């Protein structure tokens, strides 16, 4: 019973930028993200044939506990006017409509206060049985890949048609590291999109070299403090200069896998929860063929 875990914000951003903003409702409202999200979901369902689905949401896109650890976390993405996350003006009003659509369909939307969607996905991928396919355009979730439990990432960086199914071998080939050490590699390399500098002065090549030689950040710190032979003098110097960041990197970068989630039915229903409302949305917003394709993918009449 395949479980499809959708990183919702990642998907609606890709839908928004992947569909022309000339797509509007009969009333002239933007619907490109809505149509794109529904279409992409239908294509993913047709491709992976899941029995269970969850749309995972940010309860907080800058959780207080991560900001307490590192105040600059995602600070680069804060809207200076309202303190929220910067979003394109034409995307913001479409997000509630996407959520309304899937709630009426009877597919669960799951978010937890003070945790990101990544943490929800990580906890579910740890606690639920496989196969599990995690749908995202972000590399952060590569850390959850687990061949033994059949957990892989449907990586959308190149779009739905050309997406990659990321397993440990894919990670190893892409980054020249052991596939299960992606989180360590990411801690050292950093991620500019999240405002995470990594270990200053060590780039992707150096991060890969360290990840090949050490299993986790504690081992790297110990090696730096003991002048380990497998750590180059330059890398040792950089780590010691940035030792405070190194010490918080694991808690900051690793997804939480033990958050308390609501008890929720993941099985795809045999029919939509509120078909009449979905048909109203289809008519009122001109969603036409997108809704038809979605119904067809789920074998709904």
pLDDT tens for each residue of 95-127? 999 999 999 999 999 999 999 999 999 999 999
Say if CB 252 and CB 195 are below 8 A apart.
no
Contacts of 263 (CB under 8 A, 6+ apart): none
Same domain, 277 and 136: yes
Same-domain pairing of 265 and 147: yes
Helices of type H across the chain: 8-18, 32-48, 64-69, 95-105, 117-127, 168-175, 182-189, 204-213, 217-226, 233-241, 243-253, 275-284, 288-297
Q: How confident is the model at residue 143 (pLDDT cuts 50, 70, 90)?
A: very high
Question: What CATH number did the domain enclosing 161 receive?
Answer: 3.40.50.1010
Positive or negative CA dihedral for 200, 201, 203, 209?
negative
Residue with the bigger pLDDT between 217 and 79: it is: 217
Q: Does the pLDDT value for residue 255 go beyond 90?
A: yes
pLDDT attached to residue 8? 98
The predicted model gives 21-32 an average pLDDT of 95
Instruction: Quote the domain boundaries for residue 49.
Output: 3-175+256-297
223: tokens are: 């090696």
Q: Which residue has the tokens 């200053």?
A: 200
Instruction: Say how many domains are in the chain.
Output: 2
Query: What's the confidence (pLDDT) of residue 83?
Result: 65
Residue 232: the pLDDT is: 95
Q: Are 44 and 156 members of one domain?
A: yes
Each residue's pLDDT tens digit, 50-71: 999 999 999 999 999 999 999 9
Sheet holding 109-110, edge to edge: 109-110, 52-56, 3-7, 132-136, 151-155, 164-166
Answer with the one of 253, 274, 289 that is the final residue of a domain: 253
Q: Which pLDDT score is estimated for 80?
A: 62
Q: Average pLDDT in the 211-239 region? A: 95
Contact between residue 42 and residue 4 where contact means Cβ atoms under 8 Å apart: no
Q: What is the pLDDT of residues 191-214, one digit of tens each?
A: 988 889 999 999 999 999 999 999
What average pLDDT score do residues 253-282 get? Answer: 96
Q: Do 158 and 17 belong together in one domain?
A: yes
* Residue 218 and residue 100 share a domain: no
Cα 100 from Cα 173, distance rounded (Å) = 40
Judgement on whether residues 152 and 87 belong to the same structural domain of the protein = yes
Residue-wise DSSP of 184-211: HHHHHH-BGGGTB--STT--HHHHHHHH
Do 289 and 140 reside in the same domain of the chain? yes
Cβ distance 42 to 59 under 8 Å?
no
What CATH number does residue 227 fall under?
1.10.150.20
| Average pLDDT of the segment spanning 120-143 | 96
Same domain, 106 and 58: yes
Indicate if the pLDDT at residue 93 is higher than 90.
yes
What confidence tens digit (pLDDT) does each residue in 28-43 have? 999 999 999 999 999 9
- Whether residue 184 is predicted with pLDDT greater than 70 in this model: the reply is yes
pTM of structure? 0.95
Residue with tokens 């990544």, as numbered in its chain = 118
150 touches 143 (CB < 8 A): no
- What pLDDT is stored for residue 227 in this prediction? 85
Question: Percentage of the chain with pLDDT > 70?
Answer: 99
**90 shares a domain with 30:** yes
CA atoms within 13 A on the CB side of 78: 15
Instruction: Please tell me the predicted confidence (pLDDT) of residue 84.
Output: 72
The pLDDT mean for the chain works out to 95
Task: Indicate whether 14 and 128 sit together in one domain.
Answer: yes
Instruction: Verify that 185 and 88 share a domain, yes or no.
Output: no
How much is the average pLDDT of 207-235? 96
> Per-residue pLDDT for 81 more than 80?
no
* Domain co-membership, 57 together with 155: yes
Rounded average pLDDT over 267-272:
97
- The answer, yes or no, to whether residue 87 has pLDDT greater than 90, is no
Nearest residue to 135 via CA among 121, 117, 153, 149: 153
Q: How far from 271 is each of 92, 177, 294, 301, CA to CA, in Å?
A: 29, 45, 12, 8
């Amino acid at each position: 019973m395949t479980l499809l875990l959708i990183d919702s914000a990642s998907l609606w951003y890709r839908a928004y930028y992947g569909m022309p903003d000339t797509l509007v409702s009969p009333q002239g409202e933007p619907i490109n993200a809505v149509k794109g999200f529904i279409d992409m979901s239908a294509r993913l369902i047709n491709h992976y044939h899941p029995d269970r689905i969850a749309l995972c949401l940010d309860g907080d896109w800058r959780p207080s506990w991560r900001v307490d650890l590192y105040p600059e976390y995602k600070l680069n993405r804060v809207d200076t006017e309202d303190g929220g996350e910067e979003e394109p003006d034409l995307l913001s009003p479409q997000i509630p409509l996407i959520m309304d659509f899937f709630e009426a369909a009877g597919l669960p939307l799951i978010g937890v206060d003070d945790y990101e969607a990544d943490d929800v996905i990580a906890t579910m991928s740890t606690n639920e049985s496989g196969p599990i396919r995690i749908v995202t355009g972000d590399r952060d979730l590569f850390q959850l890949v687990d061949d033994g439990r059949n957990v892989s990432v449907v990586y959308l960086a190149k779009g739905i048609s050309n997406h990659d199914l990321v397993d440990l071998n894919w990670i190893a080939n892409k980054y020249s590291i052991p596939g299960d050490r992606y989180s360590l590699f990411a801690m050292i390399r950093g991620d500019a999109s999240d405002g995470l500098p990594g270990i200053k002065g060590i780039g992707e090549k150096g991060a890969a070299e360290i990840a090949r030689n050490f299993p986790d950040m504690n081992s790297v710190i110990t090696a730096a403090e003991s002048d380990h032979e497998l750590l180059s003098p330059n890398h040792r110097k950089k780590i010691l200069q940035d030792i405070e960041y190194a010490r918080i990197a694991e808690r900051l970068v690793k997804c939480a896998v033990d958050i308390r989630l609501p008890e929720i039915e993941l099985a795809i229903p045999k029919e939509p929860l509120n078909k009449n409302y979905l048909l109203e949305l289809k008519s009122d917003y001109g969603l036409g063929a997108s809704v038809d394709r979605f119904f067809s993918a789920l074998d709904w009449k």
